[in-house]
Amino acid sequence: MPAHLILLVIQRLALGVLLLLASSVLIFAGTQILPGDVAQAVLGQAATPEAIANLREEMGLNEPAVSRYLKWLFGAVQGDFGNALTNGADIGASISKRLGNTLFLALWAAVISVPLAILLGLIAVRFRNRWPDRLISAMSLATISVPEFVIGYIFMFFVAVKLRWVPSVSMINDSMSLMQKLQSIALPVIVLTFVVLAHMMRMTRAAILNVMESPYIETAELKGLSRFAVITRHALPNSIAPIVNVVMLNLAYLVVGVVVVEVIFVYPGMGQYLVDHVAKRDIPVVQAAGLIFASVYILLNMAADIIGIVANPRLRHPK
Amino acid sequence: MTMRIPVSALIGLTMMAFFFCLAVFAPLIAPYGIGEVVGDVWEPMSAKHWLGTDNIGRDLLTRMIYGARTTIFIASAATVLSFTLGTLLALSAVVLGGWVDMALSRFIDLIMTIPTLIFALVVLSVVPTSILILIVLMGLLDTTRVYRLARAVAVDINVMDYVEAARLRGEGTSWIVLREILPNALSPLVAELGLRFIFMVLFISTLSFLGLGVLPPDTDWGAIVKENKEGLVYGIPAALAPAVAIATLAISVNLVADWVLNRTTSLKGGRNA
Amino acid sequence: MREAVAHNLVEIRGLKIGATVFTPGEKPKDVEIVHGVDLNLEKGKVLGLIGESGAGKSTIGLSTLAYGRGGIRITGGEIFINGIDILKNSVGELRDLRGRQVTYVSQSAAAGFNPSKRLMDQVVESCLSHKLCSRKEAEERAVTLFRKLGLPDPENFGKRYPHQVSGGQLQRAMTAMALCPEPDLVIFDEPTTALDVTTQIDVLASIKEAIQDTGVGAIYITHDLAVVAQVSDHIMVLQHGRMVEYGTTDQIINNPQKDYTRALVSIRSTIHDETPAKGEPVLKLNNVSARYRGLNFDVVKDVTLEIHPSQTLAVVGESGSGKSTLARVMTGLLPLRQGSVSFNGETLPAALEERSKEQLRELQMIYQMADVAMNPRQTIETIIGRPLEFYFGMQGAEKRARVIELLDEIELGESFLKRYPAELSGGQKQRVCIARALAAKPRLIICDEVTSALDPLVADGILKLLLNLQEIEHVSYLFITHDLATVRAIADTIAVMYQGNVVRYGPKSKVLEPPFDDYTDLLLSSVPEMKLGWLEDVISTRKMDSAGN
């Protein structure tokens, strides 16, 4: 890899770190510097002044915001997010178990949706403007127009309740075997797949079409190459980068989709954890979970950019 | 330019009109009061209750009609907010250029590094939930996307020779923005308006479904799903009614937006090739 | 069948080509773009296809590969290649035809090469996929062709990626790619149009040499009759998908029969007689230097020029010579770094914002792409009327009357008032831009490549119009162009620019007469002339010169 390419990648990595820092500031600021008193917000209107004062003390609200932020950030980097306000539990410990569950769910959704989306995207391009393409477009329009929880409940209603194929609630614990776990998460995985499939498919289709309409594809066709050779030798090498980019962006999207799906199926993951504690106004938990979701999102976006840099022939073979 | 509306757009327009009428005239149309308990829990569909009753025996059709009112009102208001603010900021950034553009764009990039839903959840953990707060929060968060699109469109137009010609003529900023850039930026923005509206409908429904959006005594479609979701386990489809309504509205708007987008690309013309 | 046509490499009979036009919001519409064309080409001969845009020349060229772009397809007629009707070919037979019997060189080699593969892999690909020879042999062929086409370091040239070599080199590499499988026929589709004129001549010469050496048959497509006259044995003139005239190159150039062909041949003969400079200069550039932000060198270096009333100064140069930058400096879009610009005897503020309305009015500009120089949402009346309103406060009937007057001056007329730019042809659009500039009653109009996006005949019309208007309105022009024929046609004074410097400057008669400096000599001798054997003459003169040195 040439030196300037490494430099570009390092630059992008540095930008990623910078964005992570900035997003931590935003999340911190979002919970601290908003109008109103946080302690008041947590305890509600009926709270006594003493209770509020106690809570302010406990949360360190009397210190200046900058020092609170730095303390929080240094703790977070070491995995120490403090304790939950509601039950005093160690947030780091709760998160590590739930994060594992969420990643398990997201991983299986990715394993199914990525190849499926690319395959459908290819089919749409191959039969462009004919019925398979139209059908795929119509399906993706429909799924894009429907919120995640609607897809979730439709599946739950028909597959779990009417047909009784799988349980409607996705419990998961360490004593379960892999097969039991997979059976338990089948429904959320399907729903998540649906949620990201449409976007990924549309973007894959657009990326491949963009390559297929390039003049060098015409050049290849006019050389008398077979359809197969045109695709494998000329279209594919130039499509890989955009497709990988599409996949990465959608995995980032999947991370958000997981929040709602976990709530629907009462799945013990990060999303459920976050939503529960937003309702309870448990700010340290919300900050911690928010930071982790944002980090995963930023890291995936960064990975997409780096792949784009590395795959660009102009950057790989400079003048 | 002939005005031939394709069937799909016509269906979309009709459905949109239907939903907006429901929203506007909800108190006149709804057969019962919004919080009125009129029957048993989860009664099936009947002549008396067209969609049956909900989890505490309120008329589901009535709830749906009032839900439409809230959902559409919040989504519309938030869209208007994000659109005005986003377009205004973007156009000023492009025309003023320099550090204003730079600072605004970087700030927007920064906000966009955090997924919208996550950001909203973080903020909703501290602020009291009210319809006004929801509108402002959703509107501000979505301003980022409108800004990006409007900026991209405006940048494209700003480098056109006709804008340069206007500058060389000595035209002021207001002529350049209002007469040269805006008329050409409007069409892609109008199509985007539809997509932003859909996003707002999905967004507010999701928040309400998570219990962090519209709170009782008000209701919206997302909240109706939440209220009735337990019924699904017993095979009662009440929660699916609002789900279907959300999907229908979103698809209708999509169909219309698609048509607007197609129509404007044909209007653009300019090149004979 | 085969015997009947065996002596011809290509034989096309009654070729009809149709296209489906997709106008958004309307039903797809079928139109015919080529209406029955007959064409013959003997083995080893070169046929030039010439015509303006929309003549169907590229479409006909591609039809010999049984290929149509986008919604284009062959709807009637027969195409025989080596006696075989390729329209009846199976898919497999078509593959055998393409890249083996017939190959293609496109206008934009930069887009035609796959960006992620080395040039050598792409050049030898046809040989290998058709199993014509081993990879080693194919690469040897390629290196030989690279050498023949004058590419630098032919042994290692193929190891580079497309973005690592220049446009002229890519065009030659594409020619090598087309010749590598030793085809019977090569289609050259405007192969030199995108190149600078001094690059064009070398590429043209190497293409011609390669054609002669390999004895391949060729169809050479271009809009430039002078170029095609250098390489072809026969010429077919096309207009709107129909043949206008066909003959030997000699006959078409020296004895054209049809009016349309005559017009094409006489295109570069418009010559404006130089008028002597009178009065104080309208505009003076004094030792102007300018650079773009972020660059550490000047794009325009120490330029001193004058433009006199009712005169035309032509600034001529190739891409990168700094001529367009010069225009940006004069308009104030790019503030100068050193020197000064004086206008009507007073110094112009460097930045656009500091200039007075009167100064802005007196200095107008016309652009290369009339398409994007007019707001597509405004009617012609608004476009031309705005300067009247803005500078002179004209309103209502008075404004309209003046717009109509201007429309008459540009030979369009009142019926155009309510039209939108998209409804106009390229030449009409440029005329409206001229009227918009004139509406301000300027003393000087900067014309930036105003004819280079237009077909030759249309461009000629625009030049004549500009000259007429100069007589009526007593306006001066600063005419920026890369085309010396245009310069001859319109200029009183000429400045030749090269790498940011003015290398030659003076009255037309002096600048275009020897003795020349090296660059002007190269530039002048590179402009294709409408005469047979011009290319050979130039090349041999240059060879003699370099031998002499």
Q: Which pLDDT does position C233 carry in this prediction?
A: 93
* Confidence bin at C270 (pLDDT 50/70/90): low
Q: Is B221 on the interface with A (CB under 8 A)?
A: no
Task: Tell me the shortest Cα–Cα distance from B126 to chain A, in angstroms.
Answer: 6
pTM of the model: 0.78
Using CB atoms and an 8 Å cut-off, which of residues 273-292 of chain A contact chain B?
A: 274-275, 277-279, 281-283, 286-287, 290
Indicate yes or no: CB of A34 within 8 angstroms of CB of B126.
yes
Give the residue with greater pLDDT, C4 vs A107: A107
Contacting partners of chain B (3+ CB pairs under 8 A)? A, C
Task: Tell me the shortest Cα–Cα distance from C178 to chain A, in angstroms.
Answer: 9
Give dist(CA C279, CA C312) in Å, integer. 14
Q: Which residue of B has its CA nearest to C374?
A: B162
* Confidence bin at C49 (pLDDT 50/70/90): very high
Query: Tell me: the pLDDT tens digits for C286-320?
Result: 999 998 887 788 889 999 999 999 999 999 988 88
Query: Tell me: the pLDDT tens digits for C374-431?
Result: 998 899 999 999 999 999 999 989 999 999 999 999 988 888 999 888 888 888 999 9
Q: Which of A141, A278, A290 sits opposite B212 (nearest CB)?
A: A278
Q: Is A135 on the interface with B (CB under 8 A)?
A: no
For the segment C519-537, the average pLDDT, to the nearest whole number, is 87
Indicate yes or no: CB of B270 within 8 angstroms of CB of C369.
no
Strand stretches in C22-176, DSSP E: 29-42, 46-50, 72-81, 84-85, 102-105
Candidates C353, A154, C181, C262; CA nearest to B170 is: C353
Establish whether the linkage from the previous residue to B31 is cis, with ω within 30° of 0: no
Given a cut of 90, whether residue C173 has pLDDT beyond it is yes
* Confidence bin at A1 (pLDDT 50/70/90): low
* Confidence bin at A246 (pLDDT 50/70/90): confident
Q: Which residue of C has its CA nearest to B168?
A: C360
Q: Which of A36, A153, A281 sits opposite B232 (nearest CB)?
A: A153
Q: Which pLDDT does position A35 carry in this prediction?
A: 53
Given a cut of 60, whether residue A234 has pLDDT beyond it is yes
Task: Tell me the shortest Cα–Cα distance from B141 to chain A, in angstroms.
Answer: 12
* Confidence bin at C6 (pLDDT 50/70/90): low
Q: Is A195 on the interface with B (CB under 8 A)?
A: no
Which of the given ranges, A72-81, C173-182, C267-276, has the highest pLDDT on average?
A: C173-182
Q: Which pLDDT does position A96 carry in this prediction?
A: 85
Q: Which pLDDT does position B2 carry in this prediction?
A: 47
Q: Which pLDDT does position C318 carry in this prediction?
A: 86
* Confidence bin at B163 (pLDDT 50/70/90): very high
Given a cut of 70, whether residue C243 has pLDDT beyond it is yes
Q: Which residues of A touch B117 (CB under 8 A)?
A: 256, 259-260
Q: Is B102 on the interface with C (CB under 8 A)?
A: no
For the segment C91-118, the average pLDDT, to the nearest whole number, is 89
* Confidence bin at C5 (pLDDT 50/70/90): very low
- The angle at the Cα of B160, spanning B158 to B163, to the nearest 5 degrees, equals 65
Q: Which pLDDT does position C4 carry in this prediction?
A: 47
Q: Which residues of A touch C189 (CB under 8 A)?
A: none
Q: Which of B113, B125, B247 sits opposite A23 (nearest CB)?
A: B113
Q: Which pLDDT does position B273 carry in this prediction?
A: 26
Q: Which residues of A touch B236 (CB under 8 A)?
A: none
Indicate yes or no: CB of A216 within 8 angstroms of CB of C114.
yes
Give dist(CA C302, CA C338) in Å, integer. 8
Percent of chain A scored above 90 by pLDDT? 3
Indicate yes or no: CB of A22 within 8 angstroms of CB of B232.
no
Q: Which pLDDT does position B271 carry in this prediction?
A: 29
Q: Which pLDDT does position A178 carry in this prediction?
A: 75
Q: Which pLDDT does position C23 carry in this prediction?
A: 60
Give the residue with greater pLDDT, C159 vs A318: C159
Indicate yes or no: CB of C387 within 8 angstroms of CB of B263.
no
Given a cut of 90, whether residue C496 has pLDDT beyond it is yes
Given a cut of 80, whether residue C91 has pLDDT beyond it is yes
Q: Which pLDDT does position A267 carry in this prediction?
A: 86
For the segment C134-156, the average pLDDT, to the nearest whole number, is 91
Give the residue with greater pLDDT, A5 vs B266: A5
C13, burial (CB in 10 Å: exposed 0-12, middle 13-18, buried 19+)? middle
For the segment C41-61, the average pLDDT, to the nearest whole number, is 89
Q: Is C188 on the interface with A (CB under 8 A)?
A: no
For the segment C252-278, the average pLDDT, to the nearest whole number, is 83
Query: Tell me: the pLDDT tens digits for A262-271?
Result: 888 888 888 8
Q: Which residues of B touch C22 (CB under 8 A)?
A: none
Q: Which pLDDT does position A34 carry in this prediction?
A: 55
**Which residues have C-beta within 8 Å of that of residue A201, sequence separation ≥ 6?**
A117, A120, A121, A124, A136, A140
Average pLDDT, chain A: 81
C496, burial (CB in 10 Å: exposed 0-12, middle 13-18, buried 19+)? buried
| Pairs from C504-511 (Cβ < 8 Å, separation ≥ 24) | C505/C305, C507/C274, C507/C276, C507/C277, C508/C274, C508/C314, C509/C274
**Which residues have C-beta within 8 Å of that of residue A57, sequence separation ≥ 6?**
none
Q: Which pLDDT does position A60 carry in this prediction?
A: 67
Q: Is B103 on the interface with A (CB under 8 A)?
A: no
Q: Which pLDDT does position C238 carry in this prediction?
A: 93
Q: Which residues of A touch C116 (CB under 8 A)?
A: 237-238, 313
Task: Tell me the shortest Cα–Cα distance from A318 to chain C, in angstroms.
Answer: 7
Pairing of the two strands C242-248 and C234-239? antiparallel
Q: Is B111 on the interface with A (CB under 8 A)?
A: yes
Given a cut of 80, whether residue C220 has pLDDT beyond it is yes
Given a cut of 70, whether residue C16 has pLDDT beyond it is yes
Task: Tell me the shortest Cα–Cα distance from B262 to chain C, in angstroms.
Answer: 6
- A vs C, Cβ pairs < 8 A, gives 75
For the segment B64-70, the average pLDDT, to the nearest whole number, is 87
Task: Tell me the shortest Cα–Cα distance from A193 to chain B, in angstroms.
Answer: 18
Q: Which residues of B touch C440 (CB under 8 A)?
A: 169
Percent of chain C scored above 70 by pLDDT? 97
For the segment B130-146, the average pLDDT, to the nearest whole number, is 90
Mutation choice for B interface testing from C371, C445, C478 by most B CBs within 10 A: C371
For the segment C514-530, the average pLDDT, to the nearest whole number, is 87
Using CB atoms and an 8 Å cut-off, which of residues 11-30 of chain C contact chain A?
A: none
* Confidence bin at C548 (pLDDT 50/70/90): low
B80, burial (CB in 10 Å: exposed 0-12, middle 13-18, buried 19+)? middle
Task: Tell me the shortest Cα–Cα distance from B213 to chain A, in angstroms.
Answer: 10
Total residue length of chain C = 549
Indicate yes or no: CB of B239 within 8 angstroms of CB of A153.
yes
Give dist(CA C245, CA C230) in Å, integer. 18
Q: Is C159 on the interface with A (CB under 8 A)?
A: no
Average pLDDT, chain C: 88
* Confidence bin at B267 (pLDDT 50/70/90): very low
Q: Which pLDDT does position B268 carry in this prediction?
A: 39
List C-alpha distances in Å: B199 to C258, C327, C424, C474. 63, 47, 40, 60
Q: Which pLDDT does position C189 carry in this prediction?
A: 92
Give dist(CA C528, CA C369) in Å, integer. 24
How many Å separate Cα B33 from the centre of its chain? 27
Given a cut of 90, whether residue C447 has pLDDT beyond it is yes
Contacting partners of chain A (3+ CB pairs under 8 A)? B, C
3-state helix, strand, coil in chain B (%, to 5): 75, 0, 25
Q: Which residues of C touch A319 (CB under 8 A)?
A: 163-164
Q: Is A128 on the interface with B (CB under 8 A)?
A: no
Q: Which residues of A touch C126 (CB under 8 A)?
A: 223-224
Mutation choice for B interface testing from A40, A45, A149 by most B CBs within 10 A: A149
